[in-house]
Amino acid sequence: MPVLSQILEIVKLNITLEWRQRQSILAVLLYVLTTTYLCYLVFNGLISSETWNALYWIVLIFAAVQAAFRSFQNEADRRFLLYFSLVKPQVLIIGKTIYNFFYLLVIGLFTFLLFLFLLGNIVADPTAFIVLLVLGSAGFACILTFVSGLAAKAGDNPALPAILSIPLLYPQVLALSRTSIRALTGFSWTVNGPVLLVLLLLALVSLLLSYLLFAYLWRD
């Protein structure tokens, strides 16, 4: 079977499994809902563009870490043996990353709508914000999928996924939040073009690293 269709199979398999265990994505969405509502209660009357933007990325990053960590948690032992006999580890990590990209994008869009609803529709350029969100989801997926695989192998220390992955996400979150604040106030594609390119390159570098290193990670 050619590699591309194998990757597609992994993505499809993950979507099917996700559909069968709907409560897990609902749990993540509920997590976003409760934390956003918490922000709404605590920051009532204090919402400016800056706080809106900062809260959005903080809520999203914690939701993303939780969501991505689940992607390997259940299969560290059992289902992985099946994968390992069927596909190469490189195919597995690429497939998982693509799947997580869509997953995180859904969570990001949901959080975005929720923020618009609860914390106020103050986004001047929603298209620019969503483009940033797509780039951010890609970058998050590349790093988080790999680190979740690592954390799942390292045992069930509940703090581990967060402390291993959040420092690695700093470069992206910094670039994303600095740029997305401009989407709230007025966005120029020519000025922010280089930042978008940097975000894309960051995602590609982390994807390349996970492609190269994942085989070592899962060899037992």
Partner 1 sequence: MKTHWWKALGVVFVLYAIVFGFLGPVPRLPILNETIRVLYFHVTLWFAMIILMTASLSYSIGYLRNNSPLRDLKAREGAVTGMFLATLGLLTGSLWARFTWGAFWVNDPKLNGTAVTMLIYLAYFVLRGSVEDPQKKARLAAVYNIFAFVMMIVFIGILPRLTDSLHPGNGGNPGFSGYDLNSDMRMIFYPAVIGWTLIGVWIMNIKIRYTKLIWKQNEHLD
Residues that bind partner 1 (CB under 8 A): 143, 146-147, 150, 153-155, 157, 159-160, 163-164, 166-168, 170-171, 174-175, 178, 194-195, 198, 202, 205-206, 209-210, 213, 216-217, 219-220
Nearer to partner 1 (CB atom), residue 119 or residue 164: 164
Tokens standing for residue 126: 């929603």
Give the shortest CB-187-to-partner 1 separation in angstroms: 17
Nearer to partner 1 (CB atom), residue 15 or residue 163: 163
Give the shortest CB-9-to-partner 1 separation in angstroms: 26
**Residues, the chain, total?**
220
Q: What single-letter DSSP state applies at residue 47? A: -
Give the shortest CB-214-to-partner 1 separation in angstroms: 8
Residues whose CB is less than 8 angstroms from the CB of residue 212 and which lie 6 or more positions away in sequence, other chains included = none
Q: How wide is the angle at C-alpha 133 spanned by C-alphas 96 and 150, nearest 5°?
A: 30
Cα–Cα distance for residue pair 217/42, rounded to 1 Å: 42
Nearer to partner 1 (CB atom), residue 57 or residue 110: 57
Give the shortest CB-33-to-partner 1 separation in angstroms: 29
Q: Determine whether 29 is exposed, middle or buried from the number of CB atoms within 10 Å of its CB (0-12, 13-18, 19+).
A: middle
Nearer to partner 1 (CB atom), residue 137 or residue 145: 145
Measured in whole angstroms, the distance separating CA 173 from the mean position of its chain's CA atoms is 11
